[in-house]
Amino acid sequence: MITRETGSKFKFMSYTISIHGGAGTILRTELSPEKEEAYTNGLKMALQGGEDVLAAGGTALDAVTVAVSLLEDNPLFNAGKGSVFTNSGRHEMDASIMEGKALRAGAVAGITGVKNPVQLARLVMENTEHVLLSGAGAEELAQMFNLPFEAPDYFFDTFRHNQWLAVKDTSGTIMDHSGEKKFGTVGAVARDEQGNLAAATSTGGMTNKRYNRIGDTPIIGSGTYANNATCAISSTGHGEYFIRGVVAYDISCLMEYKGLSLREACEKVVLQKLVALGGEGGLIAVDASGNTELIFNSDGMYRASVKSGSKPLIAIYR
Ligand code: ASP
């Protein structure tokens, strides 16, 4: 916690970070105590990693990169190592990142083998003149900058493979996380002590998705958005609806043009507009003052949040 003098007043400069590990039909009755503990620990570790960056005076951008990388390394979450299978039995990952000061953004879509897709999205933002790179071109950039790659067996997980085998001969797709409606994806939003906002999101997409299908995660304005003047958002849910609803940018617009608070804007978009469209899922959000929302219209969402000087919140169910 830091206080800085601004003029004659002391201004309280605080940081905050929130993360999610996907939303969906996550029911207490379906999660064993051991699994619940494993998810809770995974969230706790990733939140701590991000908070350590902010507590040391680091940037929101670094904090969300670290938190999302830790979630990508945890096979419980559908991103990086834990990515789900496409209809051709492969892994295709999407990720994006944005910072709210200069509205810079980077994203990758349909990439394979890259250990931490969020780091590649950041590379696109910081080292190219582009925002969104896909497939082989994105992977080549990762090689040029020596980002770590992993062999297919690193991404193999029996649970995910069984999820895929159950639907592979159908035309259906399933989201991650139990029951019929399964959403995966990981994300983080943060506000640092300088008042800068950032957001990052990463996913393996949907089990049995048509190969080369791209969801909302790498779409700036749908899966991820950050603007210091309004908010930072990371979404999870049925991506097609989040793209159609331009969900993250819609929340920012409601704040900017209609003067809604973060809470009012999130409720309008997630609990009303998305529901009317038929889109299930949720998102995490932080505004310029550090107010935080963890909101979803599904049964649950793996989520965690902490503000400087307070105890972390970790939750799964409604
Ligand atoms: N939004 C992601 C997608 O549609 C999936 C998810 O959040 O689980 O690719």
- DSSP annotation string for 256-275: HHH---HHHHHIIIIIIIHH
Catalytic choice (16, 173, 185, 201):
185
Q: Tokens for 188? A: 């983080």
pLDDT of residue 262: 98
SS3 61: helix
List residues near ligand 1 (CB under 6 A).
Answer: 22, 78, 175-176, 183-185, 203, 205-206, 215-217, 236-237, 239
Tell me, in angstroms, the distance from the centre of ligand 1 to residue 142's CA: 23
Atom of ligand 1 nearest to the CA of 236: 7
pLDDT of residue 77: 93
Model confidence, pTM: 0.92
For residue 209, report the phi and psi dihedrals to the nearest 5 degrees: -60, 150
pLDDT of residue 162: 78
Rounded Cα distance, 209 and 229, in Å: 36
Are 55 and 193 a contacting pair, CB within 8 Å?
no
pLDDT of residue 317: 93
Active-site residue, 185 included: yes
Q: For the chain, list residues with pLDDT below 70.
A: 1-12, 171-183
Which one-letter amino acid corresponds to residue 98? Answer: M
DSSP tag of 153: G
* Number of Cβ within a 10 Å radius of residue 113: 16
pLDDT of residue 191: 98
pLDDT of residue 4: 44
Give the distance, in angstroms, between the CA of residue 266 and the centroid of all CA atoms in the same chain.
16
pLDDT of residue 10: 40
Rounded Cα distance, 51 and 170, in Å: 43
Give the distance, in angstroms, between the CA of residue 183 and the centroid of all CA atoms in the same chain.
12
Atom of ligand 1 nearest to the CA of 183: 8
pLDDT of residue 183: 59
When computed from its CA atoms, the radius of gyration of the chain, rounded to whole angstroms, is 18
